[in-house]
Every structure is written in structure tokens, then in C-alpha cells.
Amino acid sequence: MRGRDDPTSKHQEGRVRIGIARIAQETNTFCPTLTDLDTLHVHGVRFGQDVLEDDSEGSTIPGFLDMVGGEDLVGILSVHARPAGPLTPEALEAVLSWFA
């Protein structure tokens, strides 16, 4: 992420810069179907500006954007999956790496 002193940063003085990230997956430990990386991609993985434009079913981002005004918003990550079993180790590792 670019710092405030970076000339390519779009941050405007006097405004708060807010990073937006969302991970949504209802885990049912009794479900035999694990949530793998392909499942996450099918249901929705978004980065950057696409996060701010996420109006998919069940997304809370549009409501959040309606309530925040006059601030610099930066899309970071949006991950959504339907209810299923726990994340596979590979899927969890990928999601965590997307925050790095």
C-alpha cells in the first residue's frame, strides 16, 4: 500500500483514508464439503476498486458506502462464499496472503 508521502497516492489532505475489506463465509463444521479456493473464486473474490463496486447478493459493502461520506475509500479485498464446510488449508493460506 502506498504511503502518504508517495506522489502517486490519491489521498487528499484533511480527509480520513479508510481501507475496506470483507470476508463472508458461513462455516458448517458438519458439512462434508470443504470450502476450497475454486469455490471462493466462483462466489466472489474482488480486489481494489472492484471491492467498492461489489453489489453482489449478500454484500454489506453498498450499505457501508452509503453511510460513509467525504472520506477517501480504498478497496482492499472482498471474499464471499456460500455456506459450506471449513476452508481448506490452501484456501485459508490464500486469503491470508491477500492481506499481505
pLDDT tens-digit series, residues 37-96: 999 998 889 999 998 887 776 677 888 888 887 678 899 999 988 899 999 999 999 999
Grid coordinates belonging to 68: 460513509
In this prediction, residue 68 carries a pLDDT of: 81
Helix (H, G, I), strand (E, B) or coil at 88: coil
Task: Please spell the DSSP secondary structure of 7-35, one letter per residue.
Answer: TT----TTS-EEEEEEEEEEE-TT-SS-B
Decide if pLDDT at 7 tops 60.
no
- Distances in Å between the alpha carbon of 67 and those of 36, 38, 71? 33, 33, 11
Decide if pLDDT at 2 tops 70.
no
Enumerate the β-bridge partners of residue 23: 79
In this prediction, residue 81 carries a pLDDT of: 87
Rounded to an integer, the average pLDDT of 6-17 is 63
Domain boundaries, the chain: 17-98
Rounded CA separation 62/82 (Å): 19
